[in-house]
Amino acid sequence: MRAWIVALGITAVLLAAFVLVAVTRQKAHALDQVNGPTTQPAYALDQNDCLHCHGALELTTRASSGAEVSLYVNKEGLDASAHRYVDCVSCHTTKPHDVPTPLSKLSLAARCGTCHQYEYKLHLQSVHGQQLLQGNEDVATCVDCHSPQVNPHSIVRVLESNAPAYKQNISQTCGRCHNNEPLMARYGILEKVYESYMRSFHGKAMKLSPTANITQLNKATCTNCHGTHDIKDPTDPTSPVAGVENLARTCEQCHPGAGVQFASSFLGHKEATPENFPMVHYAERFFALLTASVVALGVSLVLVETGKWAFNRRPKEE
């Protein structure tokens, strides 16, 4: 009988160990799908040994404007880049020193567009791309959204959790510009876009979601409402957020049957004030006051009971 009990115990331990190993491997595989496998080191393709010179921090050149421009390429960033298996000459031609290269956001976007043609075409039609064609370099282009260092040599693929375009990071990436008050003021954009998003249900839910599991990052962020490479001006009739009917269709992507009534209750990125959404403003103030009153009353009752308890516990005079 004891032998059977021992055998059953050993079998149970082995089965538990087998299940634990299987679950661990499954989690590791899931993380590899998001972050990429980390067991094998990857090195950037550099068949012409460009990094022999461009790996030097002090390597610079002069732009046509006379400004000094660094030609340094960080090897670690390049090794981790989404383009690490694309040789330098693929972007810089086989004779990079003989070809004049205008160093501008427009020329850089055009170079990215030689491979990413569809995305480049959409970007040129967007509010950012239209401004870029007019020479405005304040606007976002490829590297602003796909590189943590805003550098073409450190583009991170969107499924890696440290990528600026990874869904949980998109609001911070857009906030690089849209949370920059002096920059936004130049274009008459006064709404605190990033702050209002992070105060919203969507922003809070996104922040609390597990980073490594992209399937759980199903909360709305900037690109869900405004698009990705094809972002339009909110006043453009074709924008997904232009007018309550377009907004309703956008909301319905996540909230089926939401309708115009649902969409019309959305405040956008504007704060509720006595002038702007007064009913919401005063309701907000009322509930804040009500909550503070209830808490104050509760604290008062606790203090009274504590005082009563202390009074009854005092030593009585004989």
Exposed/middle/buried for residue 160 (C-beta within 10 Å: 0-12, 13-18, 19+): middle
Window from 21-25, 151-155, 158-162, 245-249 with minimum mean pLDDT: 21-25
- Other C-beta atoms lying within 10 Å of the C-beta of residue 164: 21
Nearest 5°: phi and psi at 119? Answer: -65, -40
Exposed/middle/buried for residue 239 (C-beta within 10 Å: 0-12, 13-18, 19+): buried
Q: Residue 70 pairs with which residues in a beta bridge?
A: 60
Q: pLDDT by residue (tens digit) across 209-268?
A: 887 777 788 899 999 999 999 999 999 999 999 989 999 999 999 999 889 988 888 877
Show the beta-strand stretches assigned E in the chain: 60-62, 68-70
Where do the domains of the chain lie?
156-223, 232-292
Residue 8 DSSP symbol: H
Answer yes or no: is pLDDT of 82 > 70.
Answer: yes
Residue the block writes with tokens 């059953």: 8
Helix (H, G, I), strand (E, B) or coil at 68: strand
Taking alpha carbons only, the member of 45, 69, 74 closest to residue 57 is 74
Helix (H, G, I), strand (E, B) or coil at 40: coil
H or E stretch including 176?
Answer: helix 170-178
Answer yes or no: is pLDDT of 85 > 70.
Answer: yes
Q: H helices within 36-160, ranges in order?
A: 51-54, 75-79, 88-92, 105-113, 117-125, 127-133, 142-146
Would you say how long the chain is, in residues?
Answer: 318
Q: What does the alpha-carbon distance between residue 143 and residue 156 come to, in Å, rounded to a whole number?
A: 10
Window from 12-16, 35-39, 58-62 with minimum mean pLDDT: 35-39
Q: What pTM was computed for the model? A: 0.72
Mean pLDDT score across all residues of the chain:
84
Q: What share of the chain is helix, strand, coil (3-state, %, to 5)?
A: 55, 0, 45
Mean pLDDT of 50-71: 85
- CA torsion sign, 262 to 230 to 227 to 138? negative
Residue the block writes with tokens 């790996």: 55
Roughly how many angstroms between the first and final C-alpha of the chain, as a whole number?
72
- Which amino acid is located at 11 in the chain? T
Nearest 5°: phi and psi at 185? Answer: -65, -30
Mean pLDDT of 174-187: 91
